[in-house]
Structure 1
Amino acid sequence: MTKLPGGKPRIGLLGTGPWAERTHAPALAAHPGVEFSGVWGRRPEAAAALAAACGTRAHDDVDALFAASDAVALALPPDVQAPLAVRAAEAGCHVILDKPVATSAATAREVADAVTKAQVASVVFCTLRFAPATARWIDEQAAVGGWFLGEAHWLGSLFAPGSASAYAASPWRREKGGLWDVGPHVLSVFLPVLGDVTSVTCAAGPADTRHLVLRHTSGASSTATLTLSAPPAASEAALSLYGERGRSTMPGWDGALDAFGGAVDALLEAIRTGEPHSCDVRFGARLTEILARAEAAAPMVTV
C-alpha cells in the first residue's frame, strides 16, 4: 500500500453536487481520524463554496488534489467517476467510490484493474453495507445461512410528479433509472447473503420500473422491483429473506452520514491491514456486470 505517512490520513473529495454536499463533505469534515485535504469539482465556484463551508481548500487542478491526498472519495456520476478513479489510483491514492462504479462492465473492470495494479485500497459506498444497523443485519444473515428466497422493493419517487428532490435533475439518473441508482443497494445485500448471481431475468414495468429475478450460487433465488418513479404514497425501501428459520426483514437506517463514516473506517482498515474489504472495487465491478446484463434484457426507452 502506498501514500500513507505518519499522522492522520489525508482524504480529498471529488464532486460538488447534492450527494457530495450533504454526505461526503460533512462526513469527511467531522471524521476524527482523517484530515479533509480539499475539494475538486467540475464547477470551480461550487468547489470553492463547499470547501469553505467545510473548513478545507478548493483545488482547481484534480492532480493537485491527488498530490495533496493519501486517499480520495468520489461523488460523481458513474461514467465521470470511472476515469478519474483510474487517475487517482495511478497517482497512488486509495479510493472510496460511489455506486455504481461505472455503467459498463468493461469500464468497471478497467477501474478495478487500475486499483489492483496500483496496489491501493478501495471501498465502494453501498450505503447498506456501512450503515451500522443494516451492516450488522447483513453480517448476521450471512452467518446464519439457510435462506432460499430474497425479496426486495426499492420504490423511490424521485421522478414522481411534484418531486422536489435535489437529485431529480441528475442526467445520469434520468437516463439509467432505478435499475442503476438503487439496484446496487439491493445487490450489495443479496450477494453476501445468498451468493453471487448465476442468472438474471429482467422485465420492464411502468416508466423506469424494472423487475429482476436472480439465481444465486447458494441455490437461492431473489426478486427485486426497482424504480425512481413510484407515487410518493407508495414509496418504500424494503428487503426480506425467507429460509429455514422463517423470515428476516432488514431494519431501517438513519441516513447516509454515519454510513459514509463507516466507509471511511473500512478504507482505513484495508489500508492498515492490506486486506481487501468485501465491498471493494472488484465487488463494485461485479455489481456493474450484473446490472448491465439486466439492462440488456430490458433497456430503458427514452420518450
Structure 2
Amino acid sequence: MVKHLGGKPRIGLLGTGPWAGHTHAPALAGHPGIEFSGVWGRRPEAAVDLATASGTRAYDDVDALFAASDAVALALPPDVQAPLAVRAAEAGCHVLLDKPVATTTAGARAVADAVERAGVASVVFCTLRFAEPTARWIAERAAEDGWFLAEGHWLGSLYGPGSDSAYASSPWRREKGGLWDVGPHVLSVLLPVLGDVTGITAVRGAADSHHLVLRHASGASSTATLTLSAPPEAAEAALTLYGTGGRAELPRWDGAVDAFGAAVDALTEAARTGDPHPCDARFGLRLTEILTKAEELAG
C-alpha cells in the first residue's frame, strides 16, 4: 500500500557512512517539514550513534523502519542501495535515492520498475539538480535554444597525493572511480539542457580518468572529463555551454545539506501530487545505461 503524505511526512534513513553523517542526517534532522523517523545501517552500533546524534531512533530491522516511515532516503553503496530501494518501494515507501542508483543496468532497472509498480514517488539526489544556484541555472539554460557545444570536467582529488578524505575508504568508489562517482553529476546537467545521449565515445586517461564525447538529441555535442585522482592543486568542477547566445558557465554552489533539503521537498511534492520529478528513478536508470556504455567503450 502506498503511504499517502499528510501532515509531516515520516522519512527514515538507510546508511551510516560519512555521506549519511555529513549530509543526509543533518538535512533530515533540521528539516521543519518532515519527521525524521529513524536510522538503519549495516553496522547497528553506527546506526545507534547517528540516530542519537540526530535526535531520532535506530532500527536493527530495516522492514520495521519501512513500516514506521512514509519515505526513506538511502545513503548506501549503489549496489547495496538498489535491492533495498526495491524493498522500500514494495513496502509502499517513497524513495530518495543517491547517485548512481546502481552500477548495473539490471539493478537500476529493477529500482525504476519497482517504483512504477508500487506507484511511489522517487528522486535521485544529483546535487547540481537541487543546489539552488545550479538548479536555477539548469532550468534557465534548458529553456533556451541554440546550444551547440558543452565542455565539462569534474577533477576530484579524492585519491590525489596527500588526500585525507573520509570518502577515500569507500570500496565502491575505489573500484568504479570518477566515471561512476562524479559522472552522474555532469550528466545530470547535460541531459536536461542538451537532450538525451544518442552517441558516445569514451577513452581512459591517467589513473581513473575517463574522457567522454557525447552526441545529444538536440544535435549538440559535449565533452566530459571525469576523475577522482587529480592533484589537489588542480581539483575543479566546471561546465560551459556555447551557443547562439554566447557562452554560459555553471555557477558555483556551496555544500550539500541545503541541496538535500531541496531534494526532500521535491520528493514530498511528487508524492503528494503524483507528478514524477524529472530526476527520478527512471532518469537514474538512464544515467546508469550511459555510464555502463562508457565503461564498456573505454575498456
Query: Under a length normalisation based on structure 1, what TM-score does the superposition of the two structures give?
Result: 0.98
* Pairing 1:234-253 to 2, within 5 Å after superposition: 234-253=234-253
Asked if 1:53 is matched to 2:59, the reply is no
Aligned residue in 1 for 2:192: 192
Aligned residue in 1 for 2:156: 156
Task: Check the 8 A contact 2:71/2:95 in 1, yes or no.
Answer: yes
Task: Check the 8 A contact 1:94/1:122 in 2, yes or no.
Answer: yes
Q: CA deviation at 1:298?
A: 1.3
Cα distance in 2 for residues equivalent to 1:149 and 1:5: 42
SS in structure 2 opposite 1:168?
A: helix
Aligned residue in 2 for 1:292: 292
Cα distance in 2 for residues equivalent to 1:53 and 1:119: 33
Q: CA deviation at 1:144?
A: 1.1
**1:55 aligned partner, one-letter code:** G
SS in structure 2 opposite 1:167?
A: helix
Q: CA deviation at 1:272?
A: 1.2
Alignment deviations for residues 199-229 of structure 1 (CA, whole Å, 9 cap, x no partner): 1110100000000000000000000000000
SS in structure 1 opposite 2:238?
A: strand
SS in structure 2 opposite 1:109?
A: helix
Cα distance in 1 for residues equivalent to 2:161 and 2:195: 37
Q: CA deviation at 1:39?
A: 0.1
Cα distance in 2 for residues equivalent to 1:261 and 1:83: 24
Task: Check the 8 A contact 1:145/1:193 in 2, yes or no.
Answer: no
Cα distance in 2 for residues equivalent to 1:224 and 1:156: 13
* Pairing 1:276-287 to 2, within 5 Å after superposition: 276-287=276-287
Cα distance in 1 for residues equivalent to 2:37 and 2:46: 16
Alignment deviations for residues 88-115 of structure 1 (CA, whole Å, 9 cap, x no partner): 0000000000000000111111110000
Aligned residue in 2 for 1:121: 121
Q: CA deviation at 1:142?
A: 0.4
Cα distance in 2 for residues equivalent to 1:180 and 1:130: 19
Q: CA deviation at 1:157?
A: 0.3
* Pairing 1:85-234 to 2, within 5 Å after superposition: 85-234=85-234
Cα distance in 2 for residues equivalent to 1:145 and 1:165: 40
**2:25 aligned partner, one-letter code:** A
Task: Check the 8 A contact 2:28/2:261 in 1, yes or no.
Answer: yes
Cα distance in 2 for residues equivalent to 1:4 and 1:23: 26
Q: CA deviation at 1:5?
A: 4.9
How well do the aligned residues superpose, as a CA RMSD in angstroms?
0.8
Cα distance in 2 for residues equivalent to 1:145 and 1:259: 27
Query: Under a length normalisation based on structure 2, what TM-score does the superposition of the two structures give?
Result: 0.99
Task: Check the 8 A contact 1:242/1:248 in 2, yes or no.
Answer: yes
Q: CA deviation at 1:145?
A: 2.0
**1:232 aligned partner, one-letter code:** P
Q: 1:205 to 1:5 in 2, by over 3 A?
A: closer
Q: CA deviation at 1:7?
A: 2.2
Aligned residue in 2 for 1:10: 10
Q: 1:116 to 1:267 in 2, by over 3 A?
A: same
Name the % identity. Answer: 79
Ranges in structure 1 where 5+ consecutive residues have no aligned partner: none
Q: CA deviation at 1:6?
A: 3.1
Alignment deviations for residues 166-185 of structure 1 (CA, whole Å, 9 cap, x no partner): 00000000000000000000
SS in structure 2 opposite 1:282?
A: helix
Asked if 1:29 is matched to 2:29, the reply is yes
Q: CA deviation at 1:162?
A: 1.3
Cα distance in 1 for residues equivalent to 2:91 and 2:141: 38
Runs of 4+ residues deviating >4 angstroms: none
SS in structure 2 opposite 1:219?
A: coil
Q: CA deviation at 1:146?
A: 1.1
Ranges in structure 2 where 5+ consecutive residues have no aligned partner: none
Cα distance in 2 for residues equivalent to 1:42 and 1:106: 23
SS in structure 1 opposite 2:215?
A: strand
Task: Check the 8 A contact 2:5/2:271 in 1, yes or no.
Answer: no
